[in-house]
Amino acid sequence: NAGVTQTPKFQVLKTGQSMTLQCAQDMNHNSMYWYRQDPGMGLRLIYYSASEGTTDKGEVPNGYNVSRLNKREFSLRLESAAPSQTSVYFCASSEGTGGATNSPLHFGNGTRLTVT
Amino acid sequence: AQSVAQPEDQVNVAEGNPLTVKCTYSVSGNPYLFWYVQYPNRGLQFLLKYITGDNLVKGSYGFEAEFNKSQTSFHLKKPSALVSDSALYFCAVRDRVNTGTASKLTFGTGTRLQVTL
């Protein structure tokens, strides 16, 4: 059982380049999330999808777009990368369909992105 | 707005000694509270959660956490630390009330636990 799978594991971009981070889960979870982790700042929510066909902004959505392709897959796109987007990106999923769910999150192993 | 504070960047403890990692929170309503652990180059793993009921919650790997409503705290504890417990620990809170920004889970900044022989 793979859980949450993220690709790629590492990526280096030049300022202005674009890329898509891929995420897939095999747990039949309804909700999926994208977080970024920066030193001393914990995890910050970029976008989430409470169910297939819906997406909503989190705390730090600027510079990102997302697509909930189907129930399994949730991708994050950087249209024009900036050095401020250098970070570790985590995808997560949970059983809840949004709202005040108490379902824990299941995380992938992250994508380490450097923008020069 | 909800928030989580983890006042210690790092906690050092000798193997076999009890450990405590502190967490305080702020929400407008009643909270769901979570602890996660992160090992190097890995994603976060769920340890335990408080929903309602007994204030002492037991979780994975011998960890437990105590919910204290009056002090708005949810400290993580373990009676006897292991070197393998060394990792980064995150506390997180979610308000039970659906505020419209649904599913927003707020994380603390993390506490690094170092267990030495």
To probe the interface with B, which of A107, A109, A111 has the most B CB atoms within 10 Å?
Answer: A107
Residue B97 CB contacts under 8 Å (≥ 6 apart), including other chains = A100, B28, B29
Evaluate if residue A1 carries a pLDDT over 70.
no
Cβ separation of B94 and A102 shorter than 8 Å?
Answer: yes
CA-nearest residue to B108 within chain A is A42
pLDDT of A82 reads: 97
CA distance A15 to A84: 10
pLDDT of A40 reads: 83
pLDDT of B28 reads: 84
pLDDT band, residue B53 (cuts 50/70/90): confident
Evaluate if residue B78 carries a pLDDT over 80.
yes
- Considering only CB atoms, A100 lies closest to which of B46, B95, B109, namely B95
pLDDT of A97 reads: 65
pLDDT, averaged across chain A: 92
CA distance B117 to B114: 10
Residue B5 touches partner A, C-beta closer than 8 Å: no
pLDDT band, residue A102 (cuts 50/70/90): confident
The stretch A58-85 carries a mean pLDDT of 95
What A44-52 contacts at long range (C-beta under 8 Å, 24+ apart), as own/partner pairs, is A44/B107, A45/B104, A45/B105, A46/A76, A46/A89, A47/A76, A48/A98, A48/B103, A49/A74, A50/A96, A50/A97, A50/A98, A50/A99, A50/B102, A50/B103, A51/A97, A51/A98
pLDDT of A98 reads: 56
